[in-house]
Structure 1
Amino acid sequence: MAGASLLALLDDISLILDDVSLMTKVAAKKTAGVLGDDLALNAEQVTGVKADRELAVVWAVAKGSFVNKLILVPAALLISAIYPPLVTFLLMCGGLYLAYEGAEKIIHKFWPHLLPHDEEQKKRLRANADDTIDLVAFEKEKIKGAVRTDFVLSAEIIVIALGSAAGATLLEKSLVLSIIAVTITIGVYGLVAGIVKMDDLGLHLMKKSSNVQQKTGAFLLSFAPKLMKFLSIAGTIAMFLVGGGILVHGIDFLHHEVEDLAHLTGIFESATTMLLNALVGLIVGVIVVAIVTMIGKMRDNKSSSAH
């Protein structure tokens, strides 16, 4: 009897792990947009930091990211247990935010005069050039800002992952969110560390006597900025795909319209669905950017009038 009970327990554990594995794969796919943006954004965060401090800054932000996950995972599980509909609402908010971020990036790239100017990059460069500025204090502020940004992106990832595990048991949800949280943190910040030191490795190899090493170093130096650009573009596209997909699935009439239109294209149905989701994400994102920009201008006008 004891042997039979043990076998039954092992069988149950095996089934749970299979379910968790499947849900984790689905969650990873659905969070791809945020992960792409997270990777590009965190790599950009250390731009302007002195070369010998880059890894220290990445490590500090990674530790902050782990703390964020320790807060977010239990909070998400608690919300899903107490009031599950709130997960759907948060998921829709995450979709709106992704669409907004993607649209803002595009507008900032092609029509920068329409948006407020971002002085962050200039501040970083001035801080490095000015010996009178306390770089340690400056880095601490920079790390705090990066951790705050990570909190928002991590919240989106956790909520999206939780949405993909809807209907699962509490144990399965806990395992899925824990695996996603640990994996993305190690993966993202490990890649960020590799990306920011790629140019240093290239310079190091170019000083070697071997012709092969010198060519490899030259390749890494030229490839690093191209990789950053690719990550930024891929992340933006994925934000529209994922954000738009969340919004489409959350609004019944949009979901049916997209399904009907995509079905008309036959073998291209999947590709059409993705394009339509991205289009919805782009349109919604532009609308949200316009609303946020107008609110910001109204506040600025009120502040000017008050003074």
Structure 2
Amino acid sequence: MSVGLVALLDDVAAIARGAAASLDKVGAGVAQAGAKAAGVVVDDAAVTPAYVNAFTPERELPVIARIARGSLVNKLVILLPLALGLSAFLPWAIMPLLMLGGLFLCYEGAEKLMEALGAEHHGETVEDGPQDAVAFEQARVKGAVRTDLILSAEIMAIALGEVAARPVAEQAVILSLVGIGITVAVYGVVGLLVKLDDIGLHLVQRGGAVATPLGRALVLGTPYVLSLLGVLGMAAMLWVGGGILLHGAESLGFGAAAHWQHEAAHHVEAIAGAAAGWLTGAALAGVLGVVAGFVVVGLLHGVPALFKRQA
């Protein structure tokens, strides 16, 4: 074998070893970043069904697919280049932008809370019997994708924080894989949740000692599950939004509220366990989310209405 061929094979082997090492690093980075973002994934999965449960069964999965495509565009086309650019050139701007997104989540959650308490609904709802089904679906998809943008921004920011020390190309690959994996997981779960009643109906029609009672339980229980998820989705907007505001204020040097929240959560955790501690921290963040959301709702709806009455 010639010396040139031996050298070439050595080069190929070196490249292969380097590629394998890079893949190992990327895999570790994806696992690390994905684990850190897992908490927001739960919130995302709780929020989304509220946008889907207004449709007929044959439109549920197509609507979820449209929202999932919008989520991928959010993560890979909008947020990924923005995150990498801000990380490289304007790292100080990431947190203020996230706080604006958190404020928007607080506004959305507070508006839904007010509507649940009997306030006037904003925009067309399924109870109104929409005249244009296509326009109604388009509006619901846009609303879901808009909310997903904020939740995805937090996911990408958390993931970016875990891989900020890596080369830019490696960051891009890791964030892309995290974004795709989380989107598939979230909307796969959402698709399963909204089709539970159809699965139950199929089991009832199939018959059997186990299938029939299980199918009936799914058919009867799915509306309650989706209603519960609607409440959890509204709460998730408020506690995630409030949590973003607390964390952002802390990172900007105003950490008193966040410190008090952490201390309260740790104190409850020491007495009643980790779950109770987490619920305490989430509840306190949610209270801030409600207050901030009501302020924004008042500014966006109350002030214009006041000026209109005066006019």
TM tier, smaller: 0.7 to 0.9
For residues 9-62 of structure 1, the C-alpha deviation after alignment (integer angstroms, 9 at most, x for no partner) is 555545544444444344334433432232223212121211122222222222
Residues 281 and 27 (structure 1), Cα distance of their counterparts in 2 relative to 1, 3 Å cut: farther
3-state SS of 1:188 partner = helix
Change (3 A) 1:197 1:260: closer
Residues 201 and 18 (structure 1), Cα distance of their counterparts in 2 relative to 1, 3 Å cut = same
Deviation (angstroms), 1:138: 3.2
Equivalent in the alignment of 2:158 = 160
Of residues 32, 39, 42, the one that matches 2:38 is 32
Q: For residues 273 and 2 of structure 1, what CA distance do their matches in structure 2 show?
A: 59
1:102, distance to aligned residue in structure 2 (A):
5.7
Question: What is the alpha-carbon distance in structure 1 between the residues aligned to residue 54 and residue 268 of structure 2?
Answer: 47
Q: Give the 3 Å change call, closer, same or farther, for CA 217–169 of structure 1 in structure 2.
A: same
* C-alpha distance in 2 between matches for 1:138 and 1:5: 59
**8 Å Cα contact 1:205-1:213 kept in structure 2:** yes
Q: Which residue of 2 aligns with 1:64?
A: 70
- The letter of the residue matching 2:289 is G
Aligned to 2:139: 141
Residue 170 of structure 1: how far off its partner (Å): 0.9
RMSD: 3.7
When residues 205 and 250 of structure 1 are mapped into structure 2, their CA distance, relative to the original with a 3 A threshold, is same
- AA aligned to 1:247 is L
The AA in structure 1 aligned to 2:309 is: S
> 1:102–1:239: 8 Å Cα contact kept in structure 2?
yes
Partner of 1:186: 184
Cα contact 2:110–2:290 (8 A) shared by 1: yes
* Closer, same or farther: CA 135–276 of 1 in aligned 2, 3 Å: closer
Counterparts in 2 of 1:6 and 1:212: CA distance versus 1, 3 Å? same
- Please, which of 192, 195, 208 is the counterpart of residue 193 of structure 2? 195
When the two structures are superposed, what TM-score results if normalisation uses the length of structure 2? Answer: 0.76
Greater CA deviation, 287-296 or 245-254?
Answer: 245-254
Query: Is 1:303 aligned to 2:301, yes or no?
Result: no
Specify the code of the residue in structure 1 equivalent to 2:246: L
Quickly say closer, same or farther: Cα 1:204–1:116, change in 2 above 3 A: same
1:287 deviates by 2.8
Which 10-residue stretch deviates more, 226-235 or 169-178? Answer: 226-235
Q: State the shift of 1:294 in Å.
A: 2.5
**Match for residue 208 of structure 1?**
206
Q: Give, in angstroms, the shift of residue 151 of structure 1.
A: 2.7
Aligned-residue offset at 1:73: 1.1
Give the letter for the 2:308 counterpart.
S
Counterpart among 88, 92, 111 of residue 85 in structure 1: 92
Deviation at 1:66, TM superposition (A): 2.2
Flag structure 1 segments of 5+ consecutive residues without an equivalent: 128-132
Greater RCO between the two (CA within 8 Å, min separation 6)? Answer: 1
- Secondary structure class of the residue paired with 1:117: coil
Partner of 2:243: 244
User: Quick check: 1:72–1:155 contact (8 Å CA) kept in 2?
Assistant: yes
When residues 188 and 260 of structure 1 are mapped into structure 2, their CA distance, relative to the original with a 3 A threshold, is closer
Residues 79 and 210 (structure 1), Cα distance of their counterparts in 2 relative to 1, 3 Å cut: same
What is the alpha-carbon distance in structure 2 between the residues aligned to residue 22 and residue 269 of structure 1? 34
TM-score (norm 1): 0.76
Provide the identity percentage.
Answer: 35
Taking structure 1 as reference, are residues 95 and 59 closer, same or farther at Cα in structure 2, changes over 3 Å only?
Answer: closer
The answer (yes or no) to whether the contact 1:91–1:163 under 8 Å persists in 2 is no
Q: Structure 1 residues 302, 31: closer, same or farther in 2, change over 3 A?
A: farther
Give the Cα separation in 2 of the matches to 1:282 and 1:155: 19
- Give structure 2 stretches of 5+ with no counterpart: 1-6
Say whether residues 1:286 and 2:281 are aligned partners: no
Cross-structure match for 2:3: none
CA distance change for structure 1 residues 3 and 256 in 2, over 3 Å: closer, same or farther? farther
- Post-superposition Cα deviations, 1:202-255, rounded to whole Å, max 9, x if no partner, equal 112212332322112112223423443554566536963785377345255446
Q: Distance in 1 between matches of 2:44 and 2:178?
A: 14
Q: How many residues align?
A: 297
